[in-house]
Amino acid sequence: MKNNTKKIIIGAVILIVLIALFAVIWNKFSAKPTKGAKNITVEVVDNEGATTDYTLDTDAEYLRQAMDELGDQGFSYEGTESEYGIMIEYVNELRADYTADGAYWAIYVNGEYGQYGVDTQPVTDGDTYTFKYELAQ
Amino acid sequence: MKKSTSFSIRDIAQIGLMVAVIEVSKAALSFLPNIELTSFWLIIFTLFFGWKIIAVVPVFILIEGTIYGMNLWWIMYLYIWPLLVLIAWLFRKNDSAFFWAIVSGVFGLCFGALCSIPYIVIGWSSGTFMSGLRAGFVWWVAGIPWDFVHCGGNFTLMLILYKPITLAMRKINSSNIMI
């Protein structure tokens, strides 16, 4: 009984320490939105590898807001809303149908594979955001 | 609990039932992001069904792969769920709801970190070890808020369900219906 209580206390301490540690790491290292004017480039690479570039001066904090503003330049997107944010299916009216052939719209930030959806991807001055039509391997 | 080293028809039926319970619970809670009962059931089944869990985990992983496709997440499943079962087996003598809630909570909290391992390997294979480590770290950090949700969900579900379910399991055990 005493041994069990000891294990519970040790476990509870480990859990609390891990929660605190993870919170500090997330606070220090996660990408955060910045306020103010930014100049960004949005790039679309379609299923044939053709690239279309858009440049935008924006105050948007997250990529989706910037994408909405790009509608004036002919950029368009559609997708399915979920708890995790929008799952993009169409960019410039080209559909990536994962269920049909494993196609999806990958997001790259400055050439590196993005870690966030468009709803949570912070916009940073000078960055290039690429939507690339890809097939799952 | 009856000890056996080979599969009888009853064993196979039990394994099938265990997988079915996990799959149905998973489907029922699929509308809640990162809230799941898979961890709960794998711990409980390890405590009550012993070695039979060795068959449950691969069957569950294979069914998941068949339903949703064997992509990168499936590779993660290959080591994450066996790891949980191993942890549950190591601490199998504990019978405290609070203890298992902590174990399940820690597992949920570390789920993202464990899932980042393939990203480290992929990053390493296409660059240096450090670039792989960076890729895995960035991927893990982006998902930490969801790990908190996973931790809270696992902790709460175990705390609420452990007593009634273990009571039911013991009743079944004493009446020799299933075990």
* In chain A, where the domains are located: 1-30, 38-135
Strand extents, DSSP E, A12-122:
38-45, 51-58, 77-82, 85-91, 94-95, 103-109, 112-113
Which of B105, B141, B151 lies closest to A26 in CB terms? B141
Both tokens of B160, joined, read 């609420």
Are residues A64 and A86 in contact, defined by beta-carbon separation less than 8 angstroms?
Answer: yes
What digits encode the pLDDT tens for the residues B48-89?
A: 988 889 999 999 999 999 988 887 889 999 999 999 999 999
Which of B71, B110, B142 lies closest to A115 in CB terms? B142
Q: Which residues are paired to A45 by β-bridges?
A: A51, A132
What digits encode the pLDDT tens for the residues A94-123?
A: 999 988 888 999 999 998 888 888 998 999
How much is the pLDDT for A1?
A: 59
- Within 8 A by CB and 6+ apart from A2, the residues are none
How much is the pLDDT for B111?
A: 97
Question: Cα–Cα–Cα angle for A98, A102, A108, nearest 5°?
Answer: 85
User: In chain A, whose CA is at the least distance from the CA of B116?
Assistant: A115
B23 HSE (CA, 13 A, CB side): 18
The ipTM value here is 0.86
Query: Between the CA of residue A114 and those of A58, A91, B40, B86, B142, what are the distances in Å?
Result: 20, 17, 32, 34, 10
- Helix (H) / strand (E) element for B172: namely helix B144-175
* Residue B1 in this model has a pLDDT that exceeds 70: no
Which residue is it, tokens 């044939």? A48
Q: Cβ A8–B98 below 8 Å, yes or no? A: yes
Residues of A in contact with B105 (CB under 8 A): 15
- Within 8 A by CB and 6+ apart from B86, the residues are none
Average pLDDT value for residue range B162-173: 91
How much is the pLDDT for A65?
A: 94
How much is the pLDDT for B114?
A: 96
How much is the pLDDT for B176?
A: 65
Short-list B51, B25, B52, CA closest to B40: B25
Domains of chain B, by residue range, sit at 9-173
SS (H, E, C) B92-143: CCCCCHHHHHHHHHHHHHHHHHHHCHHHHHHHHHCCCHHHHHHHHHHHHHHC
Domain A38-135: which CATH class?
mainly beta
Query: Contacts for B158-161 with beta carbons within 8 Å, 24 or more apart?
Result: B158/B39, B158/B40, B158/B43, B158/B97, B158/B100, B158/B101, B158/B103, B158/B104, B158/B105, B159/B97, B159/B98, B159/B101, B161/B40
In angstroms, the separation between the Cα of residue A82 and the nearest Cα of chain B is: 9
Phi, psi angles (nearest 5°) of residue B2: -75, 130
Instruction: Tell me which of 1.20.120, 1.10.1760, 1.10.287, 1.10.1200 is the CATH number of domain B9-173.
Output: 1.10.1760
* Residue B178 in this model has a pLDDT that exceeds 60: no
Which residue is it, tokens 């790491």? A25
Short-list A105, A60, A98, CA closest to A78: A105
How much is the pLDDT for B102?
A: 97
A37: contact with B, CB 8 A cutoff: no
Spatial separation of the C-alpha atoms in residues B1 and B114, rounded to whole Å: 33
Both tokens of A10, joined, read 């040790």
Spatial separation of the C-alpha atoms in residues B169 and B167, rounded to whole Å: 5
Residues of A in contact with B100 (CB under 8 A): none
Are residues B118 and B76 in contact, defined by beta-carbon separation less than 8 angstroms?
Answer: yes
